[in-house]
Chain A
Amino acid sequence: MNAGAISVTTGPPAGTGLAPPGKAGDRAFRLLTWLMAMMVPALLGLVGWTLCKGSALSLQKFGWNFFLHSNWDPVNGDFGALWFIGCTFVSSLLGLLIALPLSLATAVYLTELAPGWVRQPAMSMIEMLAVIPSVVFGLWGIFVMVSWLQEGPYPLLVRYLGYLPFFRGPATGFCVLSGAVVIAIMILPIITSISREVLRAVPNSQREAAYALGATRWEVTRLAVLRYSRRGIFGAALLGLGRALGETMAVMMVVGNSDKISASLLAPGNTLASKIGNEYGETFQGINLSALFELGLMLLLVTVVTNILARLWIGAVGARQHSGI
């Protein structure tokens, strides 16, 4: 499955003195595409540098302390990001946990199981979900989603699982869990869409071979299709995770915006992105603004760490690929 770098010396027959066809074209093309690919690390450098420059004041003042303690006091100039980092991790990973199985199942349904006429319209509808602006999700979240969660699922969680510190009430509806749910809804289209393309690209020969061996529909999907598409689906999940970590507007409106530490998923919280979004426009220059930039830097770090962890995990899982079903 690895296209790799196929370098070919399509040499002309010896002695003709002719240049191989398209060699100059090849070089130019390769250079052009290389330049374009290099834009990505360049942009990352730009983003990192902007964040570092902005957080210089804060880095100087707080050092490591910034992400080892939790506080946000603009008047007294004391800032610590620990709580926000925690909320970001929890809401994003939880959101991905909710979205990934749903997306995958939907992609499988739309590729393997659905009647032909349903497929493209259903997919278009899911792609429409991707367009809905974050602010609209936020508004819908406040007026519809949170009210519904408040009336139904949350009281049930408090009643039956309230002995766990994670589900301790009181629940106002504006909480970390609501943030995770809205994130999950927002990353569904991207994961579903890409997974579907990946599943579609699996050659029919794979499926046919499995059927020929007497596999049922599900077994064909599991053995022939999903296994083949592991890498692509993983890429889709990472893209979804990225979106989850950086989502600002919608999360800001349902997460409760509280800086108080609590172990409960049903307590209000604040993610790195939502904190920045809340305060950036109205914060005057100085240590406060610098602390906000440093939150951005923290978010970059969190993204790096989660990506590394995810890649390590998929590496470990991939190693077990041949050890059985």
Chain B
Amino acid sequence: MNDWHYRWRKVKSSMVSGLCLVCALVVITPLALVLFYLLKAGASSLDPHFFTQLPNPAGEPGGGMANAILGSMTLLGLAGLVGIPVGVLGGIYLSEFGSPRMKWAVGFAADILNGTPSIVWGIVVYALVVLPMQGYSALAGGLALGFMMIPIIIRTTEEMLALVPNSYREEAFALGIAHWRIVLNIVIKTASRGIITGILLAAARVAGEAAPLLFTAFGNNFWNHKLSQPIEALPLQIFTYAISPYDDWHRQAKAGALVLILLVLALNIGVRVMTRGRAPHLAR
């Protein structure tokens, strides 16, 4: 072995490792900056009132975003009810039963849907649900967000399932297990970590969207009592406050953003803790 060449390869390897570390730091920097920006401006508004009170009218400091916090959680739940089954089951079909043509076509359609601006989803669900119901509702909002989740979840589910080695399936078939059982009990279990990542990513994405909610969930200055009525959400409230003239509302907007981030982080951690130890251990 050429000793000089070998050392050069080692150096190259170390350089690349260093480069990757730098890239990772670069990626984390904007997050740190945004969080810092939000904390600096918004932390002062984060008192218990914020989590328990309804918004105050314009010009009166104080008040909170309690209805928006609950509203966001409700909408996320509704969205999940729509997005998760459709996305996961659809991804299963593509991966396990789909022909290459089908995979290409549905994958392509999903990628296009992903590029649709969120406001368009609001317009679509307005025509689909709000007009017939003659009113805005939490259901419409949940549906719009759920629709947005589907393309992401279906794509990631398909990708993750494709990464499960075929040998797993073949061994199970050889044992005479029914195909649907194989998929559910073996393939999904193996890919569950990745699938859950996809779901959480989709949830994080829609949790921060305001535009599709403008014409579906609409927003509600008060508590929501029925899912067939308008409901408030953190991104909507943040948006309304951010474009207002009042400094107090600006601070509350940033506090609201912090709460939203913490909410989804809690969801992330909660789900990961609950599903820990279910998937067979991957090496890393």
Q: Does a CB–CB distance below 8 Å link A and B in the complex?
A: yes
Interface residues of A (CB under 8 A from B): 1-6, 8, 10, 21-23, 25-26, 28-30, 32-34, 36-41, 43-44, 46-47, 50-51, 54, 101-103, 105-106, 108-114, 119-120, 122, 124-137, 139-140, 143-144, 185, 188-190, 192-194, 197-198, 200-201, 203-204, 214, 216-219, 221, 231-232, 235, 238-239, 241-249, 272-273, 276-277, 280-281, 296, 299-300, 302-304, 306-307, 311
Q: Which residues of B contact A21 (CB under 8 A)?
A: 176-178
Taken together as a complex, chains A and B put the C-alpha atoms of A28 and B159 apart, in Å, by: 23
Expressed in whole angstroms, the minimum distance between the Cβ of A41 and any Cβ of chain B is 5
Taken together as a complex, chains A and B put the C-alpha atoms of A149 and B170 apart, in Å, by: 55
Q: Is the interface of A mostly helix, strand, loop or mixed?
A: helix
B58 interface hit (Cβ, 8 Å): no
Answer whether A34 and B93 are a contact pair too, CB < 8 Å, given A25-B178, A102-B26, A124-B265: yes
Which of A139, A247, A281 is in CB contact (< 8 Å) with B214? Answer: A281
Expressed in whole angstroms, the minimum distance between the Cβ of A299 and any Cβ of chain B is 6
Taken together as a complex, chains A and B put the C-alpha atoms of A151 and B37 apart, in Å, by: 18
Q: Which residues of B contact A193 (CB under 8 A)?
A: 197, 201
Taken together as a complex, chains A and B put the C-alpha atoms of A307 and B109 apart, in Å, by: 10
Q: Name A196's closest neighbour in chain B (CB-CB).
A: B197
Taken together as a complex, chains A and B put the C-alpha atoms of A299 and B95 apart, in Å, by: 29
Expressed in whole angstroms, the minimum distance between the Cβ of B1 and any Cβ of chain A is 8
Which of B20, B150, B163 is in CB contact (< 8 Å) with A105? Answer: B20
A111 touches B284 (CB 8 A): yes
B105 touches A41 (CB 8 A): yes
B163 touches A131 (CB 8 A): no
Q: Which residues of A contact B248 (CB under 8 A)?
A: none
B159 touches A33 (CB 8 A): no
B49 interface hit (Cβ, 8 Å): no
Which of A39, A111, A307 is in CB contact (< 8 Å) with B112? Answer: A307
Which of B27, B95, B106, B191 is in CB contact (< 8 Å) with A102? Answer: B27
**27 A-B contacts (beta carbon < 8 Å):** A1-B163, A8-B179, A21-B177, A33-B92, A33-B93, A33-B96, A34-B97, A40-B151, A44-B113, A46-B128, A102-B26, A106-B24, A109-B20, A111-B284, A125-B31, A128-B265, A130-B208, A131-B260, A133-B260, A136-B38, A203-B283, A231-B162, A243-B114, A277-B119, A299-B115, A306-B115, A307-B111
Taken together as a complex, chains A and B put the C-alpha atoms of A144 and B36 apart, in Å, by: 11
- Counting residue pairs across A and B whose Cβ atoms lie within 8 Å, the total is 335
B210 interface hit (Cβ, 8 Å): yes
A249 touches B164 (CB 8 A): no
Which of B12, B17, B27, B163 is in CB contact (< 8 Å) with A232? Answer: B163
Chain B CB within 10 A, most for which of A111, A112, A131, A144: A131
Q: Which residues of A contact B80 (CB under 8 A)?
A: none
Q: Which residues of A contact B117 (CB under 8 A)?
A: 246-248, 272-273, 276-277, 296, 299
Q: Which residues of B contact A139 (CB under 8 A)?
A: 242, 253-254
B178 touches A188 (CB 8 A): no
B159-212 interface (Cβ within 8 A of A): 159-166, 169-170, 173, 176-181, 183, 191, 193-194, 197-198, 200-201, 204-205, 207-211
B37 touches A119 (CB 8 A): no
B238-259 interface (Cβ within 8 A of A): 238-239, 242, 253-254, 257
Which of A25, A101, A311 is in CB contact (< 8 Å) with B180? Answer: A25
Taken together as a complex, chains A and B put the C-alpha atoms of A101 and B154 apart, in Å, by: 24
B86 interface hit (Cβ, 8 Å): yes
A204 touches B283 (CB 8 A): yes
A134 touches B120 (CB 8 A): no
Expressed in whole angstroms, the minimum distance between the Cβ of A29 and any Cβ of chain B is 4
B253-284 interface (Cβ within 8 A of A): 253-254, 257, 260-261, 264-265, 268-269, 272, 282-284
Expressed in whole angstroms, the minimum distance between the Cβ of B174 and any Cβ of chain A is 10
Q: Name B92's closest neighbour in chain A (CB-CB).
A: A33
B28 touches A300 (CB 8 A): no
B210 touches A3 (CB 8 A): no
Expressed in whole angstroms, the minimum distance between the Cβ of B89 and any Cβ of chain A is 4
B163 touches A39 (CB 8 A): no
Expressed in whole angstroms, the minimum distance between the Cβ of B230 and any Cβ of chain A is 16
B211 touches A249 (CB 8 A): yes
Taken together as a complex, chains A and B put the C-alpha atoms of A32 and B110 apart, in Å, by: 18
A135 touches B239 (CB 8 A): yes
B150 touches A40 (CB 8 A): yes
Taken together as a complex, chains A and B put the C-alpha atoms of A112 and B264 apart, in Å, by: 27
Q: Which residues of A contact B121 (CB under 8 A)?
A: 47
Which of A36, A119, A128, A300 is in CB contact (< 8 Å) with B116? Answer: A300
B92-108 vs A, CB cutoff 8 Å, 1 = contact: the mask equals 11111111101001111
B27-41 interface (Cβ within 8 A of A): 27-28, 30-31, 33-35, 37-38
B125-173 interface (Cβ within 8 A of A): 127-128, 147, 150-152, 154-156, 159-166, 169-170, 173
Q: Name A108's closest neighbour in chain B (CB-CB).
A: B20
B21 interface hit (Cβ, 8 Å): yes
B235 touches A5 (CB 8 A): no
Q: Which residues of A contact B207 (CB under 8 A)?
A: 131
B33 touches A41 (CB 8 A): no
B211 touches A248 (CB 8 A): yes
